[in-house]
Amino acid sequence: MNDKFDAWNTLKKDLHNTKKTMHIKQGEIYFMSVGQNIGYETYGKNELFLRPVLVFKKLSKYSFIGIPLTSKVKEGSYFFTFEYKKDKKSTAILSQMKSFDSKRIAYRSGHITKSDFENIKEKVASLFEITPERGGFTLLEEQRNKEYIIAHKNQFANKSNKNILLTGTAGFIGSNFVPYFLDKYPDYNLVNLDLLTYAGNLDNLTECENNPRYKFIKGDICNRELVEFIFNEYDINGVIHFAAESHVDNSIKNPGVFIETNVNGTFTLLDVAYKHWMDKPFKYKERFTGTATSVVASDTRPRFHHISTDEVYGTLNETDLFTEETPYAPNSPYSASKASSDMIVRSYQETYGLNTVITNCSNNYGPKQHDEKLIPTIIRKALAGEAIPIYGDGKNIRDWLYVLDHCKGIDLVYHTGKEANVYNIGGRNERTNLQIVDAICTILDEKVPLNSEPGIHSGLNSYKDLITFVEDRAGHDRRYAIDATKLETELGWKADENFDSGIVKTIEWYLKKYNKGTN
C-alpha cells in the first residue's frame, strides 16, 4: 500500500496513546469504527472492528466529512459527517475508538457526486480494484481480510466445535434460547448477531457473556458485508434466524422498517449462506459434506432455520386451527413482511437446494419479554396503579406458548426436522385478552395485595378495577390458534407448560424484575 494512505501502523500506535490530539488529514485513509450501519463493533475483550474511511473534506479540528470505503462504493453512495465532542478526556479520535464511548457522532450528510467519485478513484487506487463496468470499485481481497481486526484474533478457542450463527438473540425468544442451547450442546460455538434496537437488551444474556463458546456482535442483518465477514471469519456451519421487527402496532405506524429488516435482512442472510456453503445449486461444498457428490444426507449439511409466526396465516373463525397447509393471508405490515420472508426462504430451498426449515409459532410469553407486549404491559400497569389498556371488546383470541417450550421446539426442528418442511409450534392454550388480564390480576391480588402499597392502589378492590377498554387497532385479527399435531407426531414434541403454570412463572419473574415482594 502507498505510504500516503497507509495509516495502519500509525493507528496501532495511537490506539495506545490517549494524549495525542486530532491529526486527521484531508485526502488520507484511516481505519476506524464508523457505526452500526456501515462498520461494526463487537463487545468483548479488546475487540475492535474497523473500516477504511477516506477523509474527503476536513471541516474543523474535531469534524470532517468521510466516505466509508465498504466493499462497494459508487456514485450516489452516502458520505458521512464525523464529529467529535471536545473535552479533556476525548480530544484524540483514536482513544475514543479504543474505549467505545459515544462521543463520536457519525451521520449521513449527502451523496457522492460524479465528480467526487472520479476524485475518490484516484485516491484509493492502492486499496481498491476499479471496476467501472459495475459502476464502482471493490476493496482488494488482501485488504478486506487484513485490516479489520486488531488486538487479538476473533476466533473461538475450540476449533473442533461447529459455529452456529444466531440472529436477534438479544431479544425475548432468542435470549431464552441462547443459554438453553449453550447448556445442551457443548460442541457448538454460538455467534449472536443483533443490532440492539429498542427490543434487544444485552442484560438478557448476562449469564452467557463470559462463556468461551459464545460471542456477541452488534450489527445489522441487512449489512451484507458484515454478514459475509461473520460467515468467513467463523466459517458458519448453521443459522437459526430469530431477528425480526415484530410489534404489529409499530408496523402500522412505520411499515418500511419491517420490510427492510424482515424481508431484506432475511434475503441477505440466505444469499450469503448459499454462497458460503454451496458451489452451485443443489451442490454443497465438499468440506460441508465430506464428498464431492450433490446428493448428500441432509443431516451432514449446514441448515438454515427460519423462525416465523402464525400471523402469516391471517385470522380464524371460531373453530378452525392453523395447520402447515393453511394458505397465507397476512393482514398487517408485520405479518406481510414475515410471510414475504417465509417465501424467500422457500425459494432458496426450491431454486438452490439450500437446506432449510421454517417454524411458525403462536404468541409467546415468559421471562425477558419486552415491556411493550401484552402480558408485561398488564403486569407493569397493574403494579403502577395505572389503567390497563385492552383493545376493543377484549375478545380477541390467541394461542399462548411458553417461551422455553418454543425454544425446545426450535431445537428439535433444527436437528431432526425434515428438510424443506414447515412446522407449527403452538401451546394449545387459547385465551381471550380478557381471560389473560383476568388471570394475571387474580394472581397479583394474591401475590402483591393492594394494601401493600396503599398510596398507589388506593380505592381499588382488585387489580381488575384498572382494566380499561381502548379503541381497537387497525387490522386486528380476531383469532389465532395453532394445530401442532405434525410437530407432536413426527418429532415427539410436547409443551411442558400449560397456561396456568406458565403464567405463574412469568409473573414471578416480572415481580423480581420490578422489585416487588410476593406472598
Q: What is the pLDDT of residues 77-125, one digit of tens each?
A: 556 666 554 443 333 333 333 332 333 444 445 666 666 666 666 655 5
CA distance 172 to 387: 25
Work out the number of other CB atoms within 10 angstroms of the CB of residue 174: 27
Cβ atoms of 238 and 330 closer than 8 Å: no
Any catalytic annotation for residue 43? Answer: no
Q: How confident is the model at residue 153 (pLDDT cuts 50, 70, 90)?
A: very low
Query: For the residues 344-372, what does the mean pLDDT come to?
Result: 97
Domain covering 183-513 in this structure, CATH number: 3.40.50.720
Query: Residue-wise over 264-286: b if at least 16 C-beta within 10 A, else e?
Result: bbbbbbbbbbbebbbeeeebbee
Lookup: cell for 403: 417461551
* Annotated catalytic residue within 47, 220, 233, 311: 311
pLDDT score of 470 more than 90 = yes
pLDDT the model gives residue 32: 54
Top pLDDT among 84 and 385 is at 385
pLDDT the model gives residue 169: 96
Give Cα 455 distance to the centre of its chain.
41
pLDDT the model gives residue 451: 82
Pairing of strands 356-361, 422-425: parallel
Neighbouring-strand partners of residue 130: 137
Any catalytic annotation for residue 334? Answer: yes
Top pLDDT among 14 and 308 is at 308
Cβ atoms of 142 and 148 closer than 8 Å: no
CA distance 172 to 200: 8
DSSP 8-class letter at 5? G
pLDDT the model gives residue 290: 64
CA distance 272 to 230: 10
* Annotated catalytic residue within 14, 245, 310, 342: 310
Q: How confident is the model at residue 17 (pLDDT cuts 50, 70, 90)?
A: very low
DSSP 8-class letter at 471? P
CA distance 34 to 17: 20
Q: How confident is the model at residue 39 (pLDDT cuts 50, 70, 90)?
A: very low
pLDDT score of 272 more than 80 = yes
Neighbouring-strand partners of residue 65: 57, 81
Query: For the residues 243-247, what does the mean pLDDT come to?
Result: 89
Work out the number of other CB atoms within 10 angstroms of the CB of residue 336: 21
CA distance 320 to 318: 6
Give Cα 167 distance to the centre of its chain.
5
Neighbouring-strand partners of residue 400: 363
Q: How confident is the model at residue 328 (pLDDT cuts 50, 70, 90)?
A: very high
Contacts of 312 (CB under 8 A, 6+ apart): 328, 330, 335, 338, 339, 342, 360
CA distance 323 to 182: 31
Task: Give the lowest-confidence range in 18-32, 67-81, 129-143, 374-388.
Answer: 129-143
Span(s) in the chain for CATH 3.40.50.720:
183-513
Query: CA separation (Å) from 343 to 168, 262, 328, 350?
Result: 20, 12, 10, 10
Query: For the residues 417-422, what does the mean pLDDT come to?
Result: 97
DSSP 8-class letter at 328? P
Q: Is 152 exposed, middle or buried (0-12, 13-18, 19+ CB in 10 A)?
A: exposed
* Annotated catalytic residue within 30, 188, 284, 334: 334
pLDDT the model gives residue 52: 61
Q: How confident is the model at residue 409 (pLDDT cuts 50, 70, 90)?
A: very high
Cβ atoms of 348 and 270 closer than 8 Å: yes
Lookup: cell for 27: 485526502
Query: For the residues 475-496, what does the mean pLDDT come to?
Result: 94
Q: Which of 348, 352, 126, 152 is closest to 233 using CA atoms?
A: 152
How much is the mean pLDDT over the chain? 79
Torsion of CA 417, 246, 516, 402, to 10 degrees: -20
CA distance 216 to 261: 19
Q: How confident is the model at residue 199 (pLDDT cuts 50, 70, 90)?
A: confident
